[in-house]
Structure 1
Amino acid sequence: MQVPRNWRLQKHRYNLLGEVCEHCGVKLFPPRDVCPECSQGAQALYQFSGAGNIHSFSQVFDPPNGHTENTPYIVALIKLEEGPMVTAQLTDVDVDQLEIGMEVEMVTRKMSDDGTEGMIIYGYKFRPPIVD
């Protein structure tokens, strides 16, 4: 990933920062220039809680180039508490423990790196909530 793009996307990937439409109230992730519900522009930033539920999941055994380091890994479609669906990797959980509807929370984790001398890329993944 290029350095400028990494810096530009940092807020969204580290904090699950999206938008809320000021016209119809729909919450959007990732941010968009135009609301898909009412076709209005000028979206206000919105901080998502990071809490959600597993809507669907799959285990990846044959990943795309550049993502072979942690194979196999689990990818899930997460329905956030606030409404939007997010595709993300799951972490800190075995595939045998997963269930549709299971509660998860967003965490920041290492996604990839550009070798021993390059940039380390972090982003959001989801895991089951830690219970005290």
Structure 2
Amino acid sequence: MYLREGVMEVGSEAKPFTIDSFYEFLAQGKLMGARCRACGRLMVPPRPLCPDCYSDDLEWVELRGEGTVEAYTVIHVAPAKLAEEAPYIVALVRLDEGPVIPGRLRGVEPEHIEVGLRVKLEVEQPRPEGGWPTWPNYYFRPA
């Protein structure tokens, strides 16, 4: 692994700390974050600059994708592209490594969800027929 100026070499390709790289890793089934080497802050999704100490000395870190629901909401009136899936749940999940990330929660009925529920991240690839979304999507399921 080679790290310099905000990129990591993965195979023969350098990966910048961008949202594009985040989704490329998701397509491989990996949840990746950027850790600041100067202060230890872990950022998911990654950023090219630490918001705490402004350092650009970063490293890629693979996360387990497991965590705990800290808050949630049930969406009953959804945007047009998600209307068929309503009602659905969006949760804020504190990953075991520390960061809190939003994500859809599947595999549990709205009346059975509660704060503190243990969940695991899963990755869904883009639809082959070219529908929306056109990028890999992550969501959570009860662990």
TM class, shorter-length:
0.7 to 0.9
Q: 1:26: Cα distance to partner? A: 1.4
Q: Which runs of 5+ in 1 are unaligned?
A: 1-5
Among all aligned residue pairs of Structure 1 and Structure 2, give the percentage whose two residues are the same amino acid: 30
The answer as to whether partners of 1:12 and 1:30 remain within 8 angstroms in 2 is no
CA deviation profile, 1:75-114 (whole Å, cap 9, x unmatched)? 000011111110000011111221111111111236x74x
User: Which residue of structure 2 lines up, in the alignment, with residue 27 of structure 1?
Assistant: 42
Of residues 91, 97, 122, the one that matches 1:76 is 91
User: Which residue of structure 2 lines up, in the alignment, with residue 16 of structure 1?
Assistant: 31
1:62 alignment partner AA: V
The answer as to whether partners of 1:53 and 1:104 remain within 8 angstroms in 2 is yes
**In structure 2, how many angstroms separate the alpha carbons of the residues matched to 1:34 and 1:54?**
27
**In structure 1, how many angstroms separate the alpha carbons of the residues matched to 2:24 and 2:110?**
29
The answer as to whether partners of 2:26 and 2:123 remain within 8 angstroms in 1 is no
1:34 alignment partner AA: L
Higher mean alpha-carbon deviation, 35-44 vs 13-22, is at: 13-22
1:57 alignment partner AA: Y
Q: 1:10: Cα distance to partner? A: 2.5
The answer as to whether partners of 2:67 and 2:118 remain within 8 angstroms in 1 is yes
Q: 1:71: Cα distance to partner? A: 1.3
> How many matched pairs?
121
Q: 1:17: Cα distance to partner? A: 0.9
Aligned CA-pair RMSD:
2.2
4+ residue segments displaced more than 3 Å: 119-122
The answer as to whether partners of 2:32 and 2:61 remain within 8 angstroms in 1 is yes
| DSSP 3-state at the match of 2:24 | helix
TM-score normalised over the length of structure 1? 0.80
User: Which residue of structure 1 lines up, in the alignment, with residue 117 of structure 2?
Assistant: 102
TM-score normalised over the length of structure 2? 0.74
Mapping 1:1-132, distance limit 5 Å: 8=21, 9-12=23-26, 14-109=29-124, 113=127, 117-118=129-130, 121-129=135-143
Q: 1:22: Cα distance to partner? A: 0.9
Instruction: Decide whether aligned partners of structure 1 residues 37 and 12 sit closer, same or farther in structure 2, where only a CA change above 3 A counts.
Output: farther
CA deviation profile, 1:41-62 (whole Å, cap 9, x unmatched)? 1321111111100010011111
